Amino acid sequence: MRQRPPSLLGAAAVQAADALIVAAGSVLAAVDTIAGRSYQTGSGIALTLIGLATAAALAWVALGLARARRWSRTPAALTQLFVGIVGIYLVQGHQYAWGIPALLLACAGLVLLLAPASLRALARPQPGGARAPQPQRAKATPANAAQAKPGPSAKPKPAGKRPARG
């Protein structure tokens, strides 16, 4: 099992908070649909179902982060970028009570996800548990040295002259 640093568990907690927020919004959409306050009943039902499916997917990614699964890194980063974009739109629309917490949550999620310890925990494991192999330098041996340097018998060809064709 991979190590789970605190930063990765924090990123999982932020992802889980995102899932809870989407689930809460979906429940509010369902309540409005049932109460008849939705623009159209069909769109209210669709919005509720899409929201619940999204909340489930976000929770699945949070679980993947908590278990240090490699596949969870990209969806978690995209989630935080999306939450940040939504936060920007909310702040531009003067919805500060929703926009500022969304921006703070997105920033915290990205910082925790991109922390070096989190990146190491989510990185592809090297074969044998070792570090990445370093390129080997060719050792100078007498045979290699003789091939690398021309000997005294090798005459340099004059520049600009072509061999005679016969």
Domain membership flag for residue 138: no
User: In this predicted model, what pLDDT tens digit does every residue of 29-63 receive, in sequence order?
Assistant: 999 999 988 778 888 899 999 999 999 999 999 99
Determine the Cα–Cα distance for residues 108 and 103; give it in Å rounded to an integer: 9
Which residue, 69, 73, 62, is CA-closest to 3? 69
Structural domain span for residue 15: 6-123
Domain membership flag for residue 131: no
Instruction: Specify the pTM.
Output: 0.71
Domain membership flag for residue 129: no
Domain membership flag for residue 163: no
Q: How many domains does the chain have?
A: 1
User: In this predicted model, what pLDDT tens digit does every residue of 131-142 receive, in sequence order?
Assistant: 555 566 666 566
Domain membership flag for residue 159: no
